[in-house]
């Protein structure tokens, strides 16, 4: 199985868990989830908790780390911001760009998302470009228009030959934190559409770039989502905050594929 063909199980903790809570989580998670070479497990803790995570994970290098957001510049007078080089220095291998909460709460528009994505790639981090429609856009039948725009605009700052490094997360905004999950068929058709856009704008794309699904993924629905052919993994928010719940989601990849 090529590394990109492995399911990716990603935990986005958002603004939860400082260093102390991170340590107890990792201690517990290590006990509940054994390393598995057939899948990739990656955590996006708050930046301030990354060193504690790494320290507590110790020899568990199967537990990979990502940063939830980076500034588009490498360094400078940007109070409160975290840069991609700092994240890389802290041992992080992944980064999110374009999460809908960043787009909505912090005004990260398509152009800024593209700059951040480019910065992640330049610093050698693996970027996950998050895209997804609001309920209103879905009702107005603008799903495809929105997804195409977000993918194309997100990649616009990257030279075509570097675009193959990008992973995607389809996160319908109406499903995030609401308990509403897209049906596997809806995820399947949105993912297929994203795939068609990626094929068009990423030269030589051989269909390998995983597209994760995110939005109210829970232990009880993870298996069906992960068994959906176009779903290459899951990006999990609230259900990743409890070690057992996220361990169960990671194990759900056993029965998929």
Active site positions, annotated: 99, 171
CA distance 12 to 3: 21
Q: Does 127 bind ligand PGA (CB under 6 A)?
A: no
Site for ligand PGA in 185-214 (CB under 6 A): 214
Instruction: Single out the segment in contact with ligand PGA by CB under 6 A; choices: 121-129, 132-140, 193-201, 233-241.
Output: 233-241
Least distance (Å) from ligand PGA to the CB of residue 215?
A: 5
What is the DSSP track for 149-199?
HHHHHHHTTS-GGGGGG-EEEE--GGGTTTS----HHHHHHHHHHHHHHHH
Query: Residue 235: CA atoms inside 13 Å, Cβ hemisphere, count?
Result: 34
How far apart are CB 182 and ligand PGA at their closest, in Å? 11
d(CA 191, CA 213): 8
22 binds ligand PGA (CB under 6 A): no
Query: Which listed residue (40, 216, 221, 228) binds ligand PGA by CB under 6 A?
Result: 216
Least CB distance to ligand PGA at residue 177 (A):
4
Closest distance of CB 238 from ligand PGA, Å:
4
The answer to the question of residue 238 lying near ligand PGA (CB under 6 A) is: yes
Q: Which stretch binds ligand PGA (CB under 6 A): 80-88, 144-152, 171-179, 194-202?
A: 171-179
CB of 235 to ligand PGA, least distance (A): 5
Quick one: which of 113, 111, 211 has its CA closest to 171? 211
**Eight-class DSSP state of 234:** E
Question: Quick one: which H or E segment has residue 18?
Answer: none
Binding of ligand PGA at residue 171 (CB under 6 A)? yes
Distance of CA 77 to the CA centre of its chain: 28
Tokens of 58: 């110790």
Nearest to 134 by CA among 89, 178, 184, 188: 178
Selected from 237, 243, 247, 251, the binder of ligand PGA by CB under 6 A is 237
Do the Cβ atoms of 157 and 112 come closer than 8 Å? no
Among 177, 203, 207, 229, binds ligand PGA (CB under 6 A): 177
Out of 128, 176, 222, 250, the residue judged to bind ligand PGA by CB under 6 A:
176
Q: Is 68 in the site for ligand PGA (CB under 6 A)?
A: no
**Helix (H) or strand (E) run with residue 138 in it:** helix 135-139
**Binding status of residue 233 toward ligand PGA by CB under 6 A:** no
- Nearest to ligand PGA by Cβ — which residue? 237
Give the angle subtended at the CA of 218 by the CAs of 110 and 61, to the nearest 5°.
75
- Binding interface with ligand PGA (CB under 6 A): 12, 171, 176-177, 214-217, 235-239
């Amino acid at each position: 199985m090529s590394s990109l063909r492995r399911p990716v199980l990603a935990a986005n903790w958002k603004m939860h868990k400082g260093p102390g809570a991170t340590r107890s989580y990792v201690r517990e998670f290590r006990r509940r989830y054994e390393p598995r070479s057939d899948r990739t497990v990656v955590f996006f803790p708050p930046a301030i908790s990354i060193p504690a995570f790494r320290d507590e994970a110790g020899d568990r290098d199967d537990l990979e780390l990502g940063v939830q957001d980076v500034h588009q510049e490498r360094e400078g007078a940007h109070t409160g911001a975290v840069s991609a080089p700092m994240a890389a220095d802290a041992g992080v291998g992944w980064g999110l760009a374009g999460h809908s909460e960043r787009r909505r709460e912090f005004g990260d528009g398509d152009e800024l998302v593209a700059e951040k994505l480019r910065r992640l790639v330049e610093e050698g981090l693996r970027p996950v470009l998050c895209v997804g429609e609001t309920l209103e856009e879905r009702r107005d039948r603008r799903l495809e228009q929105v997804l195409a725009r977000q993918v194309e605009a997100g990649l616009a700052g990257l030279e075509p030959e570097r675009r193959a490094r990008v992973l995607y997360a389809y996160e319908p905004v109406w499903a995030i934190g609401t308990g509403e999950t897209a049906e596997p068929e809806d995820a399947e058709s949105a993912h297929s559409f994203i795939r068609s856009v990626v094929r068009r704008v990423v030269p030589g794309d051989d269909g390998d770039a995983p597209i994760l699904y995110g939005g109210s993924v829970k232990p009880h629905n993870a298996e069906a989502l992960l068994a959906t052919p176009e779903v290459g993994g899951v990006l999990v928010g609230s259900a990743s905050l409890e070690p057992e719940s996220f361990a169960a989601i990671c194990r759900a990849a056993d029965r998929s594929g």
